[in-house]
Amino acid sequence: MIRLLLLTLLIGQLAPSQSRAADSPSKAVFAYGAINAYMTSTWVAREQGFFRKHNIEIEPVFIIATRAAQAMLAGEVQMGLIGPTHVINSLAAGGDMVMFLGNQNNVRYEMVAHPSIKRAEDLKGKKVAIGASQAGLASLGAHVALDYMGLNARRDNIALLFMGEEPLRLAALQTGNVQATVIAPELAKTAVSQGFVSLLDMAKLNIPFQATGMVTTRKILKSDLQMVERIGRANVDAVHYIRNPANKKSVLQTMAKNLKVSPERIEAAYLDIVEELPRNICPTVPGVRSVLKLMVELGINAKAAQVKSEDVVDLALCKRLGGDGGS
Q: Where are the domains of the chain?
A: 27-106+209-317, 110-204
Per-range mean pLDDT, top range of 9-13, 158-162, 199-203: 158-162
| pLDDT tens-digit series, residues 177-191 | 999 999 988 789 889
- Band the pLDDT of 260: cuts 50, 70, 90: confident
| pLDDT tens-digit series, residues 40-89 | 999 999 999 999 999 999 888 998 888 999 999 999 999 999 989 999 99
Flag whether pLDDT at 12 surpasses 50. Answer: no
- The answer to whether the beta carbons of residues 166 and 184 sit under 8 Å apart is yes
| pLDDT tens-digit series, residues 114-169 | 999 999 999 999 999 998 887 778 888 899 899 999 999 999 999 999 998 888 99
Going by CATH, does the domain composed of 110-204 fall within 3.40.640.10? no
- The answer to whether the beta carbons of residues 54 and 230 sit under 8 Å apart is yes
Do domains 27-106+209-317 and 110-204 share one topology? The answer is: yes
Q: What's the CATH fold of domain 27-106+209-317?
A: D-Maltodextrin-Binding Protein; domain 2 (3.40.190)
pLDDT at 326: 58
Cα separation, 248 vs 245, whole angstroms: 5
φ, ψ (nearest 5 deg) of residue 311: -80, -25
pLDDT at 277: 77
- Average pLDDT value over all residues in the chain: 87
Flag whether pLDDT at 101 surpasses 90. Answer: yes
Cα separation, 31 vs 61, whole angstroms: 5
pLDDT at 11: 39
- Band the pLDDT of 194: cuts 50, 70, 90: very high
